[in-house]
Chains A and B, each alone.
Chain A
Amino acid sequence: QVQLVQSGAEVKKPGASVKISCKASGYIFINYAMHWLRQAPGQSFEWMAWINPANGAPTFSQKFQGRVTITRDTSASTAYMELSSLRFEDTAAYYCARGPVTGNFDLWGQGTLVTVSS
C-alpha cells in the first residue's frame, strides 16, 4: 500500500524544537521529492521545504530558511523535518507530501499536530 505515515502529536514550549518523521512505503523512496507543509487551525496550507531523497539536497521557502532542517534516511525510507525556535504561531498540523519538484502533491501523510504552549 502506497502511503506516508507520520509521527504522533507533539506539545512544545516556546523556544523549543520539534522533529517529525515521515515513513514512506509502497513506492521507491528515492524516486520522488518529499515536501513539508503546514496548516494552521482553520487556515490554508503553507509550503515549507522539500528534500531530494536521492542525494539529501534540501530546498527551503525563504520564510523558513534557517529555522527548518530536513533530512532523510534512505535505508528506512523515512524523511524528517525539524523546526526550531518554536513560537505560538507555529501551532499547526504539519504534513509530509510526495510530489514532483514542479507541480502538485499526490500523496500526503496523515498530519502531525504540533501545539506550542507555555
Chain B
Amino acid sequence: DIVMTQSPDSLAVSLGERATINCKSSQSVLYSSNSKNYLGWYQQKPGQPPKLLISWASTRESGVPDRFTGSGSGTDFTLTISNLQAEDVAVYYCQQYYNSPPMYTFGQGTKLEIK
C-alpha cells in the first residue's frame, strides 16, 4: 500500500507569515501517461468536512485564495500558505490516488495554529 507521510504533525505560525507543510509518498504518484501528479490538498476546520484546496499537486480550486500554493512532483509535495490569516487555522491533509488496485490514501494530517 502507498503510505503518505506529512511533516510536521503540527506547527504554529505568526499572522502574516508563511506556513509550509510537506507530504511524502512511499511511491511516485506521477503518471507518465499524462504527466499528472495525482495529489490533492484539503483543509478541515473543526466540526466541518474537508475542503479541497489543490488538485493535481498545484491546481488551485475555484475560490481558493492565491495565498495557497501547491508544489512538487513524484513523491515529494509541499503546501505553502503565505500571509497567514486567522481563518487558516485548520488541519491540512494530502491525498493521493493509485489505480491498481484503486486506492485513495491520505496523510495523517498537519495541525496549523497561530503563534
Chain B residues closer than 8 Å to A106, beta-carbon distance: 52, 55, 61
In the bound complex, how far is the Cα of B102 from the Cα of A101, in angstroms?
Answer: 9
Could you say which of B38, B40, B49 has the most chain A C-beta atoms within 10 Å of its C-beta? B49
Q: Enumerate chain B interface residues (CB-CB to A < 8 A).
A: 38, 40, 42, 49-52, 55-56, 61, 93, 95, 97, 99, 101-109
Q: Enumerate chain A interface residues (CB-CB to B < 8 A).
A: 35, 37, 44-47, 50, 59, 61-62, 95, 97, 101-106, 108-111
Chain B residues closer than 8 Å to A37, beta-carbon distance: 104
Chain A residues closer than 8 Å to B106, beta-carbon distance: 44-47
Chain B residues closer than 8 Å to A61, beta-carbon distance: 103
A107 closest partner in B (C-beta)? B52
Query: In the complex, are the beta carbons of A95 and B49 less than 8 A apart?
Result: yes
B99 to chain A, nearest CB (A): 7
In the bound complex, how far is the Cα of B56 from the Cα of A62, in angstroms?
Answer: 25
A104/B40 contact (C-beta < 8 A), A44-B93, A62-B101 known: yes
Q: Can you sample 15 A-B contacts with CB below 8 Å?
A: A35-B104, A37-B104, A44-B93, A44-B106, A44-B107, A45-B95, A47-B106, A59-B102, A102-B99, A103-B38, A103-B97, A104-B52, A104-B97, A105-B104, A106-B61
Query: In the complex, are the beta carbons of A47 and B55 less than 8 A apart?
Result: no
Query: In the complex, are the beta carbons of B50 and A108 less than 8 A apart?
Result: yes
Chain B residues closer than 8 Å to A46, beta-carbon distance: 106
Chain B residues closer than 8 Å to A50, beta-carbon distance: 102
B22 to chain A, nearest CB (A): 16
Chain B residues closer than 8 Å to A62, beta-carbon distance: 101
